[in-house]
Amino acid sequence: MGSSRSFSCSAMGALILGCLLFQASISNAQLRPDFYFRTCPGVFLIVGKVIVQELGSDPRIAASLLRLHFHDCFVNGCDASVLLDNSTSFRTEKEALPNLNSARGFDVVDRMKAEIEEACPRTVSCADVLAIAAQISVLLSGGPWWPVSLGRRDGFEAFFDLSNTALPSPFATLAELKKVFSDAGLNRTSDLVALSGAHTFGRAQCIVITPRLYNFNGTNKPDPSINPTFLTELRNLCPENGNPTVLANFDLATPNRFDSQYYTNLRQGKGVIQSDQELFSTTGADTIPLVELYSRNTFEFFRSFARSMVRMGKLKPLTGTQGEVRLNCRVVNSRTRGVENEDDGVVSSI
């Protein structure tokens, strides 16, 4: 993964430790960046170590972990509901259309949680594991750092139906994208444009690309906003009636690096999915100036992305005595397991 694949665990440790010490100097009313500073100070190192190990064989994992955090927070807030498997009480969000056969990294989260439980039993929530993993994934891929507010609790249920409506569609128009973001609690134009920049790395399946290549909006023609040369490239990769699971890089230039190339691609008509290209190709849109700004100024993109990640991470969190700290991120705990200490994140058995 570019520079990430050669990133040593010792170098990663120094980087994350420095960020953790800085993070510990920041406080927040409800969620706090220093929430685990006393009870599980090694949590960032544990999560980072697992990610670095996984990057050695799976360069996609950084983008996949970031996506899990997105998909968690957009559906009833950041409560780790996306991680729950099916139960007799609810249907898993993993089977909802936006996640089906595309959301991934659950086994990696399991490894993180298992190591955290060994080091700090009954302390760190799965929702916080996702938030930390998202930050470290971006950081190791060349992107910005931001203070991760912590102290979230895990929810007791998944939201299959809501997942089908609350997550942005790859076929969405700009108006539809704005509504989804606003409904989630992210109503600034900069939230939409900056967070869409997460598609600066990662992959998309042909199933979400093909319609705009051959039959855009039922016209039997390609999306006119696609760069003609890029259209040929995409058609070669995703032929009509071809394998829908074939993967295309969101960014052909730097596919595994978190940078501002995504916005340059949009200006050139090289957005891979419709919802991305809408940010620049919608006539008169207020998103266009931001695409242009982020394209030419990586610092501004990173600053906006970091701010929006902080805002997204605070969407409807469960805190205090709400929810629980799951022992296994895939299942809800037994309701008789114990009581939690609201002040320091410790769960004490009774």
Confirm whether residue 345 is marked as ligand binding: no
Tell me the pLDDT tens digit for each residue of 263-277. 999 999 999 999 999
Quote the mean pLDDT of the chain: 90
- The mean pLDDT value for 70-79 works out to 98
What is the per-residue pLDDT for 19?
55
pLDDT of residue 30: 82
Least confident of 65-74, 232-241, 322-331, 337-346: 337-346
Cα–Cα distance, 163 to 84 (Å, whole number)? 13
Helix (H) or strand (E) segment spanning residue 340? strand 339-340
Distance CA 311, CA 331 (A): 27
Q: Which pLDDT band holds residue 20 (cuts at 50, 70, 90)?
A: low
Task: Give percent of the chain above pLDDT 90.
Answer: 87
Q: How is 88-111 classified by DSSP, letter by letter?
A: SS---GGGSTTTTTT---HHHHHH
CA–CA gap between residue 44 and residue 19 (Å, rounded): 9
- Predicted confidence at residue 336, as pLDDT, reads 46
Active site residues: 71
Rounded to the nearest 5 degrees, what angle is found at the Cα of 128, between the Cα atoms of 261 and 148? 55
The answer to whether 77 is a known ligand-binding residue is yes
User: Do the annotations mark residue 81 as ligand-binding?
Assistant: yes
254 assigned ligand-binding residue: yes
Model confidence over 153-181: pLDDT tens digits? 999 999 999 999 999 999 999 999 999 99
- pTM value? 0.88
pLDDT higher than 80, residue 75: yes
Mean pLDDT of 212-232: 97
- Is 93 one of the annotated binding-site residues? yes
